[in-house]
């Protein structure tokens, strides 16, 4: 069984956005990851650790449409180029797959994700994709969270966690670290 890992930058009040802001971030604090926080390489070391563990990437439609053309050309993301990609979307047409960024499979439902998890292989990492993360969490499909929590309260933006009335999900802390710039790394296993 494959592990599904959500990784993201999150504000203290649970908002996730892309590092520099962008499409779909229609609130006045968009781009908060790169604004007003001192850059410390050690605070982002989790991203390098993830590269070693990642065997495939998963995105929702909107995140895929933003990340694919940028990451395909990015030296920082070169290690991801040939990895299998999965896009969870009921509406993305097959001809919208970005060429030159490794094999890409479109999954049409949460059940398709559950079926993929039953196959052989390593960890699949979900980047960004707040709406997808909420759906997968509500379905009990996320096995681990890798979060870099930033010392900001935004009040608006895409929430990582849904407000659905559902069964409690218990988490067990696997790893954590605090950095002088206020960022806190939290890695949690979902245990029930």
- pLDDT tens, position by position, 80-111: 999 999 999 999 998 999 999 999 999 999 99
pLDDT averaged over every residue in the chain: 90
Cα dist. 171→16, 41, 139, 153 in Å? 19, 27, 15, 23
Residue 31 has pLDDT above 70, yes or no: no
Domains with residue ranges and CATH for the chain: 4-190 (3.40.430.10)
Q: What is the separation, in whole angstroms, between the first and last Cα of the chain?
A: 16
Mean pLDDT (whole number) for 10-29: 71
């Amino acid at each position: 069984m494959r592990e599904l890992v959500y990784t993201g930058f999150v504000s203290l009040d649970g908002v996730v956005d892309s590092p520099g802001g962008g499409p779909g971030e229609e609130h006045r604090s968009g781009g908060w990851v790169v604004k007003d926080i001192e850059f410390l390489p050690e605070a982002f070391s989790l991203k390098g650790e993830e590269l070693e563990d990642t065997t495939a990437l998963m995105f929702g439609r909107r995140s895929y449409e933003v990340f694919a053309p940028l990451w395909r050309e990015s030296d920082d993301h070169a290690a991801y180029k040939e990895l299998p990609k999965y896009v969870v979307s009921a509406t993305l047409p097959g001809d919208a797959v970005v060429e030159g960024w490794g094999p890409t499979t479109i999954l049409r439902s949460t059940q398709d994700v559950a079926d993929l998890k039953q196959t052989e292989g390593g960890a699949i990492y979900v980047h960004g994709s707040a709406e997808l993360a909420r759906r997968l969490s509500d379905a009990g499909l996320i096995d681990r969270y890798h979060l870099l929590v930033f010392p900001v309260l935004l009040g608006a933006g895409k929430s990582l966690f849904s407000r659905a009335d559902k069964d409690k999900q218990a988490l067990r802390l696997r790893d954590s670290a605090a950095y002088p710039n206020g960022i806190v790394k939290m890695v949690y296993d979902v245990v029930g």
